[in-house]
Structure 1
């Protein structure tokens, strides 16, 4: 009987489930849209919607595949860095502004005042870091300050990933990757927030450990999967994607040792982006999150990233007058809008590089603030080079401009890491935008680094497969798991002839930020 692993990946717009083997091959997969509310500055999901989607998708996956439920040796899952507040009977507390939502999405920025409150204390005590509102501890303080009546109802603060593990196993667990648990006790004392510690519950487990007695009876009956099937402790999606690709190798190369990760930069690109670097020593860097211990032995990670990537591309496209025209033409050709625009840009460029089409169109991509390295969520987006042009060609140029701005934002983050002593020789991408060849090519051109295209296009699904295999003891440790599933198809290299062009684009990118700060200073009343 084959050893089959069930992987669950909960993203921002959809939930995916897959059956994989221990060599990292996706054997079957199903996708289900999930509801997401995104009013300005906020992001919410419904836990009931996510759970029902998870159950339905797994049932469809198994029924449509050629594999029997008894073949499933382990279950693993990853989710976005989202969170819930639960009552004493483990019922999610609905958001005060939307009774349909009870999961605070990773991009929810309503706790900006509380993050600034923490940041002010950090500066007064001699620290040089800032806290951003995507931090769960800031959201918890927001609930206490803005809605004390809901805070009184709150018994448990929990990551979405840990919540779903509880739903599968009836066991409350957390790991070193559980973001709700990341806080400094002196900060809590400074804002009179020690009572938050009473609201954390569960057993600490390593990432990928077997949870309790495995799949619970009720959910096993619903899913028609054997009771007690090992369920792994959860992982956040970006870190899971990192581990699935960071030691990748070509089909005929020997397995890479863990220290290969020291020269590689993980590039998780989807609705948002994160870039995860690895070091032997814990490095504290302003403008980065970390350091945190790695699951790889004796290594540490620092993370940088951009809050809006895929979501920014969607926004720019949807708000251009030519969007409907281009979308209809793309559908007629059986293409996605981005694949269609990639073809259009190739036609427009002719013999010249596509990148050079935007000599005079520039963007600062801070439409949702800046996560890192500026750590300032009040920053806004800027676009220079607008014309009275409603054409499809103009839409394509704005799409290209957004890709270039995100690539330059990646370069800014990478230079922050390099200035702290990191050295990189390869990008290892994963996520939805990693399937876009233009997006990857311009990241290589802007950063000057080659990129390894993963053999498995849906590399994020390998995250759950690895944790499932660890829980089922099919992998001896994390190094074994990563080496077993992580392979790349090919390497793409930057175009050296674009180095000077992107150097000038990067100068404009940095100058646009300085211009924004100058405008703010001019407009200040005092």
Structure 2
């Protein structure tokens, strides 16, 4: 980690992922001065595998611990921290008007206030509600790829409305988790365009043509039985910009900065600037796509090109799941890919978001569920070797023994379809499940290594499918900008480049891109705070127009050079991977055909004639 001069301003990024919270401290040049992480608690239901819940109390306590630890370890005085930025998963946080948590499942005493007040993004309890919304033909579906995911907030709110006692539901205020964090930090109920547009069924003004309405879709809410939210002026959703609501773009300063309470908890000073938050995937985009490369475009080229340099750079933020985020000057509709989202990061710009619901989680599952896994893990523990190092050593040995040039030849007749937790993009079908073809009566570590590599191939092939869907509708994609833990797996990164036939940029740090993006929001808020809080939508929009490109220059300033991995150009390997991709697509058609046949077989038979 780098050291900064004693008078250089510092910026704190706070990231809440699926399983942990972390804080990282950066200089104005993007040098990492310290980082600290703490595992958050996820509550699972023993009776319902769809349920994933968390607690805002637990999340905030972890954040506070991480913030204080980073300041302590970096020997940084609180006064040097000039800005704080937050990002988080797109999970639904529920509190009452006073900010007390409301449980999102019945407690032993029934529905009540309780600390398990977050429905995690991965929670799939709202499947029926999502089906109903998708059958509505609402205009909002045009801006989520044609299908609203059960991972988004409106299906989850509707699920709660139909189960909570009406009196308790009437107390509930609903936040996408990034916006909850800025509220908890500042006391301001201002929401972010990122959360509202991407996850909360909000359509920005000026987007809808043909006489349709923008903003909150009151016809849909009334149709779903949520008319009380409309009648209240959407106050429990954050308000409306033509009323008392304020919606901010990425990094705009929230209120007057940290409240006294939050500052004490985080170890910072009251009034420290707080930037409007982003969903974690979008913070990963901010922290990734402006980076120059040691073997590619320079920072000077990005500055010269301006914000338009971001077009064609597809960010893949890879962890438990993977999100694929792409910005453009035009709103391009792509079936099965979320968006187009206007103002999600930059005012006037559009985002599309593809994704895979399970990638890191899938890799772990395929390893852990194999019969050879316990023996492999025991051997690794005794030698101090990682499981992944051992698996790649196995693959190397098998490749040498077989006399082949690439690991993909070892899985010629082993094919995995990866949607064990449903498909996010481009099928937008939560009912999809996994398929594995080529199983042998083999419980050896050799077989485990091949299953592991087939899993990497499946993730790469699905990435190719998402890129293909984006390109078919007119998106330009020149390179894939990676962040997250997968980037440490260089074999996997080369596989992605070969399968997708596209350069893949690895970040300077595999673990800090997302939290760096959050810190960039804090710097933007600090440097564009004009002394007055953005208390009206008019003030917010004037500020956004005045500082339209400032965040891009902040991104360029704080991004360290990455390194490109290029496709190998091996014609024989390309032919093999093309054949695997054709089989991947055929697996989708096969599963759907089988599912239709079985659904038809279990339909109720007509009653016998009397």
Quick check: 1:7–1:464 contact (8 Å CA) kept in 2? yes
1:363 counterpart = 2:378: no
5+ residue gaps, structure 1: none
Is the partner of 1:325 in helix, strand or coil?
helix
Structure 1 residues 97 and 442, CA gap change in structure 2 (3 angstroms) = farther
Alignment partner, residue 429 of structure 2:
376
**Aligned 1:45-444 pairs, distance under 5 A:** 45-97=54-106, 101-122=116-137, 129-149=146-166, 152-179=169-196, 180-183=199-202, 184-196=217-229, 197-201=234-238, 203-250=246-293, 253-256=299-302, 257=305, 258-294=307-343, 295-296=345-346, 298-350=348-400, 352-444=405-497
- How far apart are the structure 1 equivalents of 2:181 and 2:56? 9
Structure 1 residues 168 and 278, CA gap change in structure 2 (3 angstroms) = closer
Of 327-336 and 429-438, the range deviating more from structure 2: 327-336
Of 50-59 and 480-489, the range deviating more from structure 2: 480-489
- How far apart are the structure 1 equivalents of 2:499 and 2:505? 16
Is the partner of 1:303 in helix, strand or coil?
strand
Structure 1 residues 152 and 100, CA gap change in structure 2 (3 angstroms) = closer
- How far apart are the structure 2 equivalents of 1:288 and 1:311? 21
- How far apart are the structure 2 equivalents of 1:125 and 1:108? 22
Return the offset for 1:426.
Answer: 0.8
Quick check: 1:453–1:488 contact (8 Å CA) kept in 2? no
Deviations 1:443-470 (A, max 9, x none): 1111111111111322112111110101
Structure 1 residues 262 and 67, CA gap change in structure 2 (3 angstroms) = same
- How far apart are the structure 2 equivalents of 1:254 and 1:433? 28
Task: Return the TM-score normalized by structure 2.
Answer: 0.82
Match of 2:558 among 482, 485, 499: 485
Of 500-509 and 392-401, the range deviating more from structure 2: 392-401
Structure 1 residues 38 and 431, CA gap change in structure 2 (3 angstroms) = farther
Of 213-222 and 17-26, the range deviating more from structure 2: 213-222
Return the offset for 1:491.
Answer: 0.8
Alignment partner, residue 18 of structure 1:
24
Alignment partner, residue 10 of structure 2:
4
- How far apart are the structure 2 equivalents of 1:483 and 1:496? 31
Return the offset for 1:345.
Answer: 2.0
Deviations 1:29-75 (A, max 9, x none): 11111111345222211212111111111112222223222211111
1:472 counterpart = 2:529: no
Deviations 1:91-127 (A, max 9, x none): 1211215665211111111110000001112289997
Is the partner of 1:234 in helix, strand or coil?
strand
Structure 1 residues 186 and 416, CA gap change in structure 2 (3 angstroms) = farther
Return the offset for 1:298.
Answer: 4.5
Is the partner of 2:102 in helix, strand or coil?
coil
Structure 1 residues 206 and 502, CA gap change in structure 2 (3 angstroms) = same
- How far apart are the structure 2 equivalents of 1:213 and 1:123? 37
Larger radius of gyration: 2
Quick check: 1:123–1:129 contact (8 Å CA) kept in 2? no
Structure 1 residues 5 and 286, CA gap change in structure 2 (3 angstroms) = same
- How far apart are the structure 2 equivalents of 1:343 and 1:208? 44
Return the offset for 1:327.
Answer: 2.0
Structure 1 residues 374 and 390, CA gap change in structure 2 (3 angstroms) = same
Return the offset for 1:481.
Answer: 1.2
- How far apart are the structure 1 equivalents of 2:385 and 2:515? 24
Of 11-20 and 455-464, the range deviating more from structure 2: 455-464
Quick check: 2:101–2:116 contact (8 Å CA) kept in 1? no
Structure 1 residues 100 and 189, CA gap change in structure 2 (3 angstroms) = closer
Is the partner of 1:488 in helix, strand or coil?
coil
Return the offset for 1:360.
Answer: 1.2
Is the partner of 2:122 in helix, strand or coil?
coil
Return the offset for 1:154.
Answer: 3.5
Return the offset for 1:326.
Answer: 1.9
Quick check: 1:161–1:236 contact (8 Å CA) kept in 2? yes
Is the partner of 1:75 in helix, strand or coil?
strand
Task: Quote the RMSD (CA, aligned, Å).
Answer: 2.2
Quick check: 2:372–2:444 contact (8 Å CA) kept in 1? yes
- How far apart are the structure 1 equivalents of 2:396 and 2:21? 33
Quick check: 2:332–2:475 contact (8 Å CA) kept in 1? no
5+ residue gaps, structure 2: 1-6, 108-113, 203-216, 239-244, 530-546, 604-610
- How far apart are the structure 2 equivalents of 1:126 and 1:447? 29
